[in-house]
Amino acid sequence: MTGSVPPLFPPSDAQYGPADLTLTPAGEPPALRADAARNRTRLLEAASDLMGGCGATALTMEAVAAAAGVGKGTVFRRFGDRTGLLIALLDHREQKLQAAFLSGPPPLGPDAPAAERLHAFGPAVIRHERDHHELILASRTDPLRNYAVPAARLRLTHITMLLRQTNTGGDTDLLAHTLLGHLDTALIHHLIVDRGMSLDRIEAGWHDLVTRLTAGPPA
Protein backbone atom coordinates (compact mmCIF):
# COMPACT_ATOMS: atom_id res chain seq x y z
CA MET A 1 0.00 0.00 0.00
CA THR A 2 1.30 3.42 -0.85
CA GLY A 3 0.35 6.85 0.39
CA SER A 4 -0.49 7.98 3.89
CA VAL A 5 -2.77 6.06 6.22
CA PRO A 6 -5.89 8.02 7.20
CA PRO A 7 -5.88 9.04 10.87
CA LEU A 8 -8.04 7.10 13.31
CA PHE A 9 -9.04 10.27 15.12
CA PRO A 10 -9.60 13.79 13.76
CA PRO A 11 -6.83 16.39 14.14
CA SER A 12 -8.52 17.94 17.16
CA ASP A 13 -7.73 14.79 19.11
CA ALA A 14 -4.01 15.42 18.76
CA GLN A 15 -4.13 17.21 22.11
CA TYR A 16 -5.79 14.20 23.75
CA GLY A 17 -9.26 15.69 23.63
CA PRO A 18 -12.30 13.44 23.26
CA ALA A 19 -12.88 11.97 19.84
CA ASP A 20 -15.99 10.53 18.25
CA LEU A 21 -15.82 6.87 19.22
CA THR A 22 -18.95 5.71 17.44
CA LEU A 23 -18.74 1.95 17.01
CA THR A 24 -19.99 0.40 13.79
CA PRO A 25 -19.31 -3.07 12.38
CA ALA A 26 -16.18 -3.15 10.24
CA GLY A 27 -15.23 -5.29 7.31
CA GLU A 28 -18.62 -5.59 5.70
CA PRO A 29 -18.48 -5.13 1.90
CA PRO A 30 -20.43 -2.28 0.32
CA ALA A 31 -23.97 -3.10 -0.75
CA LEU A 32 -23.85 -5.14 -3.94
CA ARG A 33 -26.35 -6.10 -6.58
CA ALA A 34 -27.88 -9.51 -5.98
CA ASP A 35 -25.85 -11.16 -8.74
CA ALA A 36 -22.63 -9.48 -7.61
CA ALA A 37 -23.28 -10.55 -4.02
CA ARG A 38 -23.81 -14.13 -5.16
CA ASN A 39 -20.58 -14.06 -7.17
CA ARG A 40 -18.68 -12.69 -4.19
CA THR A 41 -20.07 -15.41 -1.94
CA ARG A 42 -19.20 -18.09 -4.49
CA LEU A 43 -15.63 -16.82 -4.74
CA LEU A 44 -15.21 -16.71 -0.97
CA GLU A 45 -16.65 -20.20 -0.60
CA ALA A 46 -14.24 -21.48 -3.26
CA ALA A 47 -11.33 -19.76 -1.51
CA SER A 48 -12.36 -21.22 1.86
CA ASP A 49 -12.54 -24.73 0.39
CA LEU A 50 -9.12 -24.35 -1.22
CA MET A 51 -7.59 -22.94 1.95
CA GLY A 52 -8.87 -25.93 3.89
CA GLY A 53 -6.82 -28.16 1.62
CA CYS A 54 -3.70 -26.16 0.82
CA GLY A 55 -3.53 -23.58 3.60
CA ALA A 56 -3.59 -19.81 3.33
CA THR A 57 0.01 -19.44 2.18
CA ALA A 58 -0.60 -21.53 -0.96
CA LEU A 59 -3.87 -19.85 -1.92
CA THR A 60 -3.69 -18.09 -5.30
CA MET A 61 -6.09 -15.90 -7.25
CA GLU A 62 -5.77 -18.27 -10.22
CA ALA A 63 -6.79 -21.28 -8.13
CA VAL A 64 -9.80 -19.46 -6.71
CA ALA A 65 -10.92 -18.42 -10.19
CA ALA A 66 -10.63 -22.00 -11.47
CA ALA A 67 -12.48 -23.45 -8.48
CA ALA A 68 -15.30 -20.91 -8.86
CA GLY A 69 -15.50 -21.36 -12.62
CA VAL A 70 -14.77 -17.72 -13.47
CA GLY A 71 -11.97 -15.80 -15.13
CA LYS A 72 -8.98 -14.65 -13.10
CA GLY A 73 -9.88 -11.04 -13.88
CA THR A 74 -13.18 -11.47 -12.05
CA VAL A 75 -11.37 -12.36 -8.84
CA PHE A 76 -9.00 -9.40 -9.19
CA ARG A 77 -11.87 -7.00 -9.89
CA ARG A 78 -13.77 -8.19 -6.83
CA PHE A 79 -10.88 -8.25 -4.31
CA GLY A 80 -8.11 -6.15 -5.87
CA ASP A 81 -5.24 -8.48 -5.01
CA ARG A 82 -4.43 -11.60 -3.01
CA THR A 83 -4.22 -9.65 0.23
CA GLY A 84 -7.65 -8.20 -0.45
CA LEU A 85 -9.00 -11.72 -0.91
CA LEU A 86 -7.45 -12.91 2.36
CA ILE A 87 -8.86 -9.90 4.19
CA ALA A 88 -12.30 -10.64 2.73
CA LEU A 89 -12.03 -14.21 4.02
CA LEU A 90 -11.26 -12.84 7.45
CA ASP A 91 -14.26 -10.52 7.36
CA HIS A 92 -16.84 -13.25 7.95
CA ARG A 93 -14.94 -14.59 10.94
CA GLU A 94 -14.29 -11.09 12.24
CA GLN A 95 -17.96 -10.11 11.96
CA LYS A 96 -18.90 -12.84 14.44
CA LEU A 97 -16.40 -11.46 16.95
CA GLN A 98 -17.63 -7.91 16.34
CA ALA A 99 -21.24 -8.94 16.91
CA ALA A 100 -20.23 -10.42 20.26
CA PHE A 101 -18.59 -7.26 21.63
CA LEU A 102 -20.88 -4.73 19.94
CA SER A 103 -24.26 -6.26 20.74
CA GLY A 104 -23.76 -9.64 22.39
CA PRO A 105 -24.46 -10.72 25.97
CA PRO A 106 -22.31 -9.71 28.94
CA PRO A 107 -19.57 -9.65 29.98
CA LEU A 108 -18.33 -8.98 26.42
CA GLY A 109 -21.42 -7.09 25.25
CA PRO A 110 -22.75 -3.65 26.19
CA ASP A 111 -24.83 -4.68 29.23
CA ALA A 112 -21.73 -5.15 31.42
CA PRO A 113 -19.59 -2.48 33.14
CA ALA A 114 -16.73 -1.16 31.03
CA ALA A 115 -14.00 -2.81 33.13
CA GLU A 116 -15.66 -6.22 32.86
CA ARG A 117 -16.05 -5.79 29.10
CA LEU A 118 -12.39 -4.87 28.80
CA HIS A 119 -11.35 -7.95 30.76
CA ALA A 120 -13.57 -10.16 28.56
CA PHE A 121 -12.39 -8.59 25.30
CA GLY A 122 -8.81 -9.86 25.56
CA PRO A 123 -9.53 -13.60 25.86
CA ALA A 124 -12.12 -13.39 23.09
CA VAL A 125 -9.61 -11.83 20.70
CA ILE A 126 -6.73 -14.06 21.83
CA ARG A 127 -8.71 -17.20 21.01
CA HIS A 128 -9.91 -15.69 17.73
CA GLU A 129 -6.34 -14.90 16.70
CA ARG A 130 -5.16 -18.36 17.74
CA ASP A 131 -7.88 -20.08 15.71
CA HIS A 132 -7.26 -18.03 12.55
CA HIS A 133 -3.57 -17.21 12.85
CA GLU A 134 -2.55 -18.76 9.50
CA LEU A 135 -5.06 -16.73 7.52
CA ILE A 136 -4.34 -13.56 9.47
CA LEU A 137 -0.56 -13.81 9.09
CA ALA A 138 -0.84 -14.65 5.38
CA SER A 139 -2.85 -11.44 4.83
CA ARG A 140 -0.12 -9.27 6.40
CA THR A 141 1.88 -8.16 3.40
CA ASP A 142 2.12 -4.49 4.36
CA PRO A 143 2.80 -3.42 7.98
CA LEU A 144 0.90 -0.15 7.58
CA ARG A 145 -2.12 -1.90 6.13
CA ASN A 146 -2.46 -3.90 9.35
CA TYR A 147 -3.38 -0.74 11.23
CA ALA A 148 -5.64 0.70 8.53
CA VAL A 149 -8.03 -2.20 7.98
CA PRO A 150 -11.50 -1.48 9.41
CA ALA A 151 -11.43 -4.41 11.84
CA ALA A 152 -8.23 -3.19 13.49
CA ARG A 153 -9.55 0.36 13.71
CA LEU A 154 -12.77 -0.86 15.32
CA ARG A 155 -10.88 -2.89 17.91
CA LEU A 156 -8.73 0.10 18.78
CA THR A 157 -11.74 2.40 19.04
CA HIS A 158 -13.56 -0.12 21.23
CA ILE A 159 -10.66 -0.44 23.68
CA THR A 160 -10.19 3.34 23.78
CA MET A 161 -13.89 3.81 24.55
CA LEU A 162 -13.80 1.27 27.38
CA LEU A 163 -10.68 2.83 28.88
CA ARG A 164 -12.33 6.24 28.90
CA GLN A 165 -15.47 4.79 30.49
CA THR A 166 -13.35 3.33 33.30
CA ASN A 167 -11.81 6.77 33.90
CA THR A 168 -8.37 5.29 33.46
CA GLY A 169 -6.77 8.68 32.88
CA GLY A 170 -3.60 9.34 30.94
CA ASP A 171 -3.35 9.12 27.18
CA THR A 172 -6.08 6.54 26.55
CA ASP A 173 -5.33 6.44 22.82
CA LEU A 174 -1.76 5.26 23.42
CA LEU A 175 -2.86 2.96 26.24
CA ALA A 176 -5.32 1.37 23.83
CA HIS A 177 -2.49 0.70 21.38
CA THR A 178 -0.52 -0.90 24.21
CA LEU A 179 -3.39 -3.22 25.08
CA LEU A 180 -4.01 -4.06 21.44
CA GLY A 181 -0.34 -4.98 21.07
CA HIS A 182 -0.87 -7.72 23.66
CA LEU A 183 -3.44 -9.26 21.27
CA ASP A 184 -1.27 -9.22 18.15
CA THR A 185 -1.63 -12.40 16.10
CA ALA A 186 2.09 -12.86 15.49
CA LEU A 187 2.85 -12.36 19.19
CA ILE A 188 0.20 -14.84 20.28
CA HIS A 189 1.44 -17.40 17.74
CA HIS A 190 5.04 -16.89 18.92
CA LEU A 191 4.14 -17.24 22.59
CA ILE A 192 2.10 -20.41 22.04
CA VAL A 193 4.23 -22.18 19.41
CA ASP A 194 7.77 -20.95 20.04
CA ARG A 195 7.63 -20.21 23.78
CA GLY A 196 5.23 -22.99 24.73
CA MET A 197 2.93 -20.70 26.74
CA SER A 198 -0.61 -21.76 27.46
CA LEU A 199 -3.67 -19.72 26.57
CA ASP A 200 -4.44 -19.47 30.27
CA ARG A 201 -1.09 -17.78 30.93
CA ILE A 202 -1.51 -15.32 28.05
CA GLU A 203 -5.03 -14.48 29.16
CA ALA A 204 -3.86 -14.03 32.74
CA GLY A 205 -1.30 -11.54 31.45
CA TRP A 206 -4.11 -9.61 29.76
CA HIS A 207 -6.15 -9.48 32.97
CA ASP A 208 -3.11 -8.31 34.95
CA LEU A 209 -2.39 -5.54 32.42
CA VAL A 210 -6.02 -4.37 32.35
CA THR A 211 -6.17 -4.36 36.16
CA ARG A 212 -3.02 -2.29 36.40
CA LEU A 213 -4.23 0.23 33.81
CA THR A 214 -7.73 0.64 35.24
CA ALA A 215 -6.67 0.78 38.91
CA GLY A 216 -5.63 4.41 38.56
CA PRO A 217 -2.45 6.07 39.87
CA PRO A 218 -1.07 4.81 43.19
CA ALA A 219 -2.21 6.67 46.27
Do residues 192 and 101 share a domain?
yes
For residue 206, the domain's CATH number is: 1.10.357
What is the Cα–Cα distance from 119 to 103, expressed in whole angstroms?
A: 16
For residue 47, the domain's CATH number is: 1.10.10.60
Q: What is the structure's pLDDT at 4?
A: 37
Do residues 97 and 156 share a domain?
yes
pLDDT, one tens digit per residue, over 163-215 is 999 998 889 999 999 999 999 888 998 999 999 999 999 999 999 999 999 88
Between 52 and 131, the more confident residue is: 131
Check if the beta carbon of residue 208 is closer than 8 Å to that of residue 202.
Answer: no
pLDDT, one tens digit per residue, over 99-132 is 999 999 999 999 999 999 999 999 999 998 888 7
Q: What is the structure's pLDDT at 119?
A: 97
Do residues 155 and 188 share a domain?
yes
Do residues 75 and 153 share a domain?
no
Q: What is the structure's pLDDT at 166?
A: 94
Range of the domain at 64: 30-80
Please enumerate, as own/partner, the contacts of 153-158 that have beta carbons within 8 Å and a separation of 24 or more.
Answer: 153/8, 153/26, 154/23, 154/24, 154/25, 154/26, 154/98, 155/125, 155/180, 155/183, 156/8, 156/180, 157/8, 157/21, 157/23, 158/23, 158/101, 158/102, 158/121
Do residues 98 and 60 share a domain?
no
Do residues 65 and 94 share a domain?
no
Do residues 37 and 141 share a domain?
no
Model pTM?
Answer: 0.67
User: Does the residue 216 lie in any domain?
Assistant: yes
Do residues 51 and 97 share a domain?
no
| Domain final residue pick, 44, 62, 80 | 80
Do residues 48 and 154 share a domain?
no
| Domain final residue pick, 59, 80, 101 | 80
